[in-house]
Amino acid sequence: MRRGFQVAAPLLPAAVALGVSFGVLARAAHWSAAAAVVMSATTFAGSAQVATVSVLGAGGGVAAAVVAALLLNARYAPIGITVAESFRGRFLRRLAEAQLVIDESWALSGGGTPGFDRGVLLGAGVALWIGWTGGTAVGALLGGVIGNPSSFGLDGAFAALFLALLASQLRSRRAVAAATGGALIAALLTPVAPPGVPILAASLAALAGWSRS
Amino acid sequence: MSAMWASVLVVGAGTVALKAVGPVAVGGRRVPQRLLGVLAMLAPALLAALVVVEGFAAGRSLVLDARLAGLAAGGLAVVGRAPIWAVVLAGGVATALVRLLT
């Protein structure tokens, strides 16, 4: 665990900063500070949280927001499976520890490789959770003070944030293909489908992962 | 219940369940490789769609407006390996500036 804290230290500022960004953006989109913090503490996944705020704000409705967010987090099923064998003990303990598996803690711990270190996974997960939830609280308070002026460029800030999150996912040729397909589907459907649908339909581009690499 | 709280609770519960699939439910059983591959590609596909919708959609049309400046500034920040808060700030400020000036 302690090694996990040390290994996660360089990523902590980024987790705090993204948490602050989420808190500020959520407040600017007229969310309460409590909702932003509760979401960070339970969902603990940046892309899905920002997508929820974004789709709701665009008038996509609860169903579209929830489905888009959960599709974004669907990657945690395969990620969790790669480290499943190291989780032992009672149901509640495994359930709690499983929540510490996020992109960053999984990558730091060497998830899916022979050198996988469970202590690093859990330690990094705890450190990043504290940074993420704490950052959200700070951002939600700041956002309340800044108030409406920040909503002026809010849509541009959201777009830039999604771009940054996307860049961090483009680690393989298949990921680039999936992203290109997703962007094309969203662009083609926007003129003809209700808000929310173009984003959900873009998930079809994930079939780029079907081929054996 | 408001749309905001409904979304917070359902996304939270759903994500807890998704993270638990491996460690709690699957254990040592094998899962088809192709299914894992598709699930892993959902994030890049959806994030790219979110960039398009958040950056170019206005109701049911695609438009080029001040958000393009935000995306360009954010893109430069990403390429320059800027921290994520700087990317968000660049996107917001560039969009607001262009909106002010046009």
Q: Which of A190, A200, A210 to mutate to test the interface with B (most CBs of B within 10 A)?
A: A190
CA angle A39, A32, B12 (to 5 degrees): 15
Is the separation of the CB atoms in A75 and B39 below 8 Å? Answer: yes
Which amino acid is present at A103?
A: D
Residue matched to tokens 């899905």 = A48
Residues of chain B with Cβ-Cβ distance to A163 below 8 Å are: 51, 55, 71, 74-75, 78, 87, 91
Compare CB distances from A157 to B14, B83, B92 and report the shortest one's residue: B92
Q: What is the pLDDT of residue A112?
A: 67
A74/A61 Cα distance (integer angstroms): 20
pLDDT at A128 over 70: yes
Here the ipTM equals: 0.86
Q: Mark yes or no for CB contact A99/B19 under 8 Å.
A: yes
Helical residues (DSSP H) of chain A, grouped into ranges:
2-8, 12-28, 33-42, 46-57, 61-73, 76-82, 91-98, 103-108, 118-146, 154-169, 173-189, 197-201
B1/A22 Cα distance (integer angstroms): 22
A53/A125 Cα distance (integer angstroms): 24
Greater confidence (A196 vs A150) lies with A196
**Does pTM top 0.95 for this prediction?**
no
Spell out the domain ranges in chain A: 2-153, 170-213
Which residues does B69 contact at the CB level (< 8 Å), separation at least 6?
A156, B94, B95, B97, B98
Q: What is the pLDDT of residue B60?
A: 82
Is the separation of the CB atoms in B91 and B71 below 8 Å? Answer: yes
